[in-house]
Chain A
Amino acid sequence: MKFFIFVTVAFLASFIVQEFIPAFEWAYLSRLLLVHITFLAIAAAVPFPAMLLYALIGGFIWDARHHIPIYPPEATAEIFIQAELPFGFTIFIFGLTGALIQGVRPLFCKGRWELPVLMIGICTSLGLLLEYLVISFHRGGLEIPVELWWKLLMSGLFSALVSPFLLLLLSRLGARSRYRLRSKNSYRRHNYDGDAI
């Protein structure tokens, strides 16, 4: 229980810290998406139901702060009232990428972080790419400039670089609060020091 309280506080704090993170002009205005990274790191550490709950809460708060209601040019109130990126789309992105991260959770449980770190980077870029494709779908033309690939790549890279620190923080919190990671997919059970139980 203690672990989940710590994790929830850390997740909420990431929304505040996110406000202080700039977008880098040299990286095509990509930025460190701390909230996304924190969520994905949490998704690697908690069971599926808890991941869904964090996706719901995190996606909702993110959209409450960052959602911009841009309507497609041909939209009228009568036929179309949804914005290009509808409110709640981040919940979907979080749910989807969180489910993907759950696939590498057994590795994280065993103390192997290479693939989870890589997956956090990939999932961050994947979420952004999905958003861009939805925007392009609404505007009726798929423009994929080179700068876009760089933006996606840099966002993923920033995530992959920062995620080990968050995974370390989560594992420390887990050890402190005696939270034991268990996975049905693991052949053996391990404690947080990586020892078989």
Chain B
Amino acid sequence: MSRLNIILLIVFVTALITITLSSPQTVARIQNGAMTVFSPFMRASNQLESGVETVGTESLSPAQLREVVDELERERNRLKLEVIQLDEIVRENNQLRRALQYVEKAPLSVVAARVISRKPSTWYNTMIIDKGKAHGIEVDNPVIVPVGEDAGLVGKVSEVVGDNSAIILLLTDEMCQVSAKLQNSQEQGILNGQRGALRTMPNLRLRYLSREAEVAPGRKVVSSGVGGLFPPDLVLGEVFSVEIGAIDAEVTVKPGVNFEELIDIFVVLPVRDPEDEADMQSESGDEDPVAVEKPASTAP
């Protein structure tokens, strides 16, 4: 090896070490810049993918579309009536709460976001959304979607890359660990996904259940809320099979959320004490940048 090559190799190794030892803040700044450059291509790729998926699907005729619109109008009118009735109930409920001096649980605030890249990274089950720092999203915020009548857990925010993008670590990844329990039971364990991003919908593993746990296939698994990271009673999946070990039981869980068809998701924002919030605002001297789009359901 020539002297020049050796010198260049030393320069390469020095640069490599310097880059590897960069602080997380520096890395975040670099990634923010990269995301700004690449996000148009990511969006284009996602649109192309969606377009390809819809090719071959049957399109509706004008008459059928008219029918759908009529049906939706009927549904809207029915829901309007329901809202009026619910308003009445809420008013009554609030009056009763005040009368009983009921301490209200903090409501969840969520931000609606759209998935701009569904492709998993090489080794992590992740996706990228179009909301970020500018919308109040922080690392470890839970991400949910409606699953039937309930909310299902999608994962958590792994990194807020910039003002308008964040990386979500999906529940199907080994590193997204959730304290879980069997519905209508006190049996608790830790639920996690699969290492290595080998499938979009792998079965999940619920570990550390007691051997005596009454686990039957089909039983719902929900978040327990222990640890405070994830709200309680979010749908995680349902029991697929059970394995009783020498000390504990391990359950294979079929995910409740369809990870293959995620388009719109909701990021749960942390609920801050209004007094702390006011203090923070007075300290920073500017208005709250958090754009809460939809005050959502209350914590159960």
Q: A interface vs B, CB < 8 Å?
A: 15-16, 19-20, 22-23, 25, 28-29, 31, 33, 48-49, 52, 55-56, 60-61, 64-70, 73, 81-82, 85-89, 91-92, 95, 128, 131-132, 135-136, 139, 143, 145, 147-148, 151
A87→B121 CA distance, assembly (Å) = 14
Q: Which residues of chain B come closer than 8 Å to A81, judged between CB atoms?
A: 23-24
| Cα-based distance from A85 to B197 in the complex (angstroms) | 15
- Per-position 1/0 for B106-129, Cβ under 8 A of A: 000000000000011111101000
List residues of chain B with CB within 8 A of the CB of A91: 15-16, 19
Q: Which interface residue of B20, B22, B42, B196 has the most chain A CB atoms within 10 A?
A: B196
Could you jot down 20 A-B contacts, CB within 8 Å?
A19-B38, A19-B45, A22-B119, A25-B200, A48-B5, A52-B9, A52-B12, A64-B34, A65-B31, A68-B169, A69-B27, A69-B159, A85-B123, A87-B20, A87-B22, A92-B20, A95-B16, A136-B195, A147-B196, A148-B198
Say whether B175 faces chain A, with CB atoms less than 8 Å apart. Answer: yes
B30 close to chain A: CB less than 8 A: yes
Residues from chain B with a CB closer than 8 A to the CB of A25 are 199-200
Do A88 and B16 touch across chains, with their CB atoms under 8 A apart?
Answer: yes
Best-buried of A20, A70, A95 by chain B (most CB within 10 Å): A70
Choose one: A67, A70, A151; the contact of B198 (CB below 8 Å): A151
A20 to B5, CA, bound (A): 36
Closest 3 CB pairs of A and B: A64-B34, A88-B19, A88-B20
- Given A16-B41, A19-B42, A86-B20, the answer on whether A70 and B12 have CB atoms closer than 8 Å is no
Q: Could you tell me if B24 and A68 are in contact, using CB atoms closer than 8 angstroms? A: no
Interface of A, helix, strand, loop or mixed by DSSP: helix
What are the residues of chain B within 8 A of A86 when measuring CB–CB?
20
Contact with A along B1-34 (1 / 0, CB 8 A): 0001100110010011001101110010011011
Q: For the complex, what is the distance from the CA of A126 to the CA of B154, rounded to whole Å? A: 32
A147 surroundings in chain B (CB, below 8 A): 196, 198-199
Chain A CB within 8 A of B35 CB = yes
Given contacts A20-B44, A73-B175, 20 further A-B contacts (CB under 8 A): A16-B41, A20-B41, A20-B45, A20-B48, A29-B199, A52-B12, A64-B34, A65-B38, A68-B158, A70-B124, A87-B27, A88-B16, A88-B20, A92-B20, A95-B12, A131-B122, A136-B195, A139-B174, A143-B195, A147-B199
A31 to B200, CA, bound (A): 14
